[in-house]
Amino acid sequence: MKVTKIIASSYKILASHRLRTFLCISSVAIGVMAVVVMVSMGRGAQKRILDMIRDMGTNLIVVNAGHVTLVGGRERQSAIVTTLKPADADAIQDHCASVADVAPETSRKMNVQWESENLMTNVVGVTAAALQIRNIEIETGRSFDSIENDTARRVALVGTVIVEKLFFSGEDPIGHQIRIGRAPFEVVGVMKAKGVDANGVDRDDRVLIPINTAMRRLIRITYIQKIHIQVANSKKLQRAETEIRELLRERHRLRDKPDDFTIQNQATLVQTERQSTRTLTLLMGSAAAISLLVGGIGILAVMLTASRERKKEIGLRRAIGARRRDIRTQFLLESLIIAGTGGFSGASIGLLFTFLASKLGGWNTIVSWDATAVGLALSVVIGLLFGIYPASKASSLEPIEALRAK
């Protein structure tokens, strides 16, 4: 038997039952397309989250006062803790060898007003160094410097959401006076838009002021909520975390008590997010792969029907010299042609959809070649698995009973 001739013959037979063949191919194609698209979307989502984490700063460790947990993807402080002080930030800078720079921070939700417009927003007190550590860029105007911080001047950097909501008539906010609470502040700069961070916080909906101004003149507190710490390089992140924990426990005299602070290590965060998005991607891909089973059942149904309808043809082929394995090969090849064509079509459509969604729709998708290969391989396996039974059934027919079939 010439396999190429059988393949050609199989193509003609499948082509002669166009609708049935098309429906079967489609069911496999949809399954493979789903695998490709789901995994691509999962990979895209993973990259977006990782980019957001990295966008928060490079080689970053964040020390939070008290116990901070993630609730619905957002940070929540369980209680107000007053043990974290600006001197802790200085001590970390001075004594932790792995640390390159530190930026203490305190914040509160306050009312911000300009002329008759006002809104509640996050007012964050930071040092001048914070802008560099946290990758904050200036769109227009300038940042405030360390002297303005030391002298607790009332100057402010505003985010683009503040500009939209307060200065919606299009006026340039630079140089204007806004009120934060009751205190007047001069707007010296507008921050570049950054969007929502990995913790779900809108980084454009805030006002940055010098930390000393926030602590002494506005909120009137002696404690801080956070310290952003930039580590010298990524390899030192774990060591830096250990050094910082030991230093703060000593400074806060904790001895046997638990930490009164929480340390977020960016590397750990990246790893956790990577694992969780990988799990999610795997789940989505597996769900899509299960849909391939539907395609397989379709192939099984079609080929079983075909072996029943084509009994006389099987009888004829056996009469003119086909062996059992020739019949089995033919039917199996027909299953594989259906599955392979479906797999290839589904992969192509899936890749095209992923590409177009990314380019035209702005979706976060990354073309996943390994998922495409897996989808294609799965379609072939499905074709084999679900084609073997009908093929065996067809080949088991005796020629005379096949010829006599009604």
Partner 1 sequence: MIKVKNIEKTYRKGSVSTPVLRCVNLAINRGEYVAIMGTSGTGKSTLMNILGCLDKPTSGMFEFDGVDVSKLDDDTLSTLRNKKFGFVFQVFFLLERTTALDNVLLPLIYADKYPTDAIQRAKKALARVGLEDRTKYLANELSGGQQQRVAIARALINDPDVILADEPTGNLDSDSTSEVLEIFNRLHKEGRTIVVVTHDREVAVQAHRILELRDGKLFENDARAKLEN
The footprint of partner 1 (CB under 8 A) covers: 1-2, 5-6, 9, 12-13, 16, 312-313, 315-326, 399-400, 403
- CA pair distance 197, 202, nearest whole angstrom: 6
Which lies closer to partner 1 via its Cβ, residue 278 or residue 323? 323
Distance CA 318, CA 315 (A): 5
Residue in the structure block whose two tokens are 């695998």: 35
Beta carbon nearer to partner 1, 130 or 402 = 402
Of the two residues 2 and 109, which places its CB atom closer to partner 1 in the complex?
2
Please tell me the number of Cα atoms within 13 Å of 13 on its side-chain side.
21
Q: How far is it, in rounded angstroms, from Cα 108 to Cα 288?
A: 45
Smallest distance, partner 1 to C-beta of residue 393, A: 16
Nearer residue to partner 1 within complex by CB, 148 or 313: 313
Nearer to partner 1, 18 or 255 (CB): 18
In sequence order, the 6+-apart residues with CB closer than 8 A to the CB of 89 are 102, 103, 104, 224, 227
Euclidean distance between CA atoms 40 and 34, whole angstroms: 10
- Give the Cα separation of 269 and 64 in Å (integer): 15
Q: Which is nearer to partner 1, 123 or 306 (CB)?
A: 306
Which residues make Cβ contacts (< 8 Å) with residue 180, sequence separation at least 6? 110, 111, 112, 123, 156, 207, 209, 218
CB of 326 vs partner 1, minimal distance in Å: 6
Give whichever of 30 and 306 is closer to partner 1, judged by the CB atom: 306
- Cβ 349 to partner 1, closest distance in Å? 29
* Shorter beta-carbon distance to partner 1: residue 155 or 306: 306
Q: For residue 148, give every residue at least 6 positions away whose Cβ sits within 8 Å of its Cβ, in sequence order, or none.
A: 128, 155, 210
237 contacts 61 by C-beta, under 8 angstroms = yes
Beta strand spans in 134-258 (E): 138-141, 155-158, 177-180, 183-191, 206-210, 226-231
Give the residue from 275, 379, 290, 294 showing the smallest Cα distance to 336.
379
Q: What is the DSSP letter of 72?
A: T
Q: Which residue has the tokens 């039974």?
A: 389
Q: How far is the CB of 384 from partner 1 (least distance, A)?
A: 22
| Residues 379, 339: Cα–Cα separation, whole Å | 5
- The nearest distance, CB 271 to partner 1, in angstroms, is 59
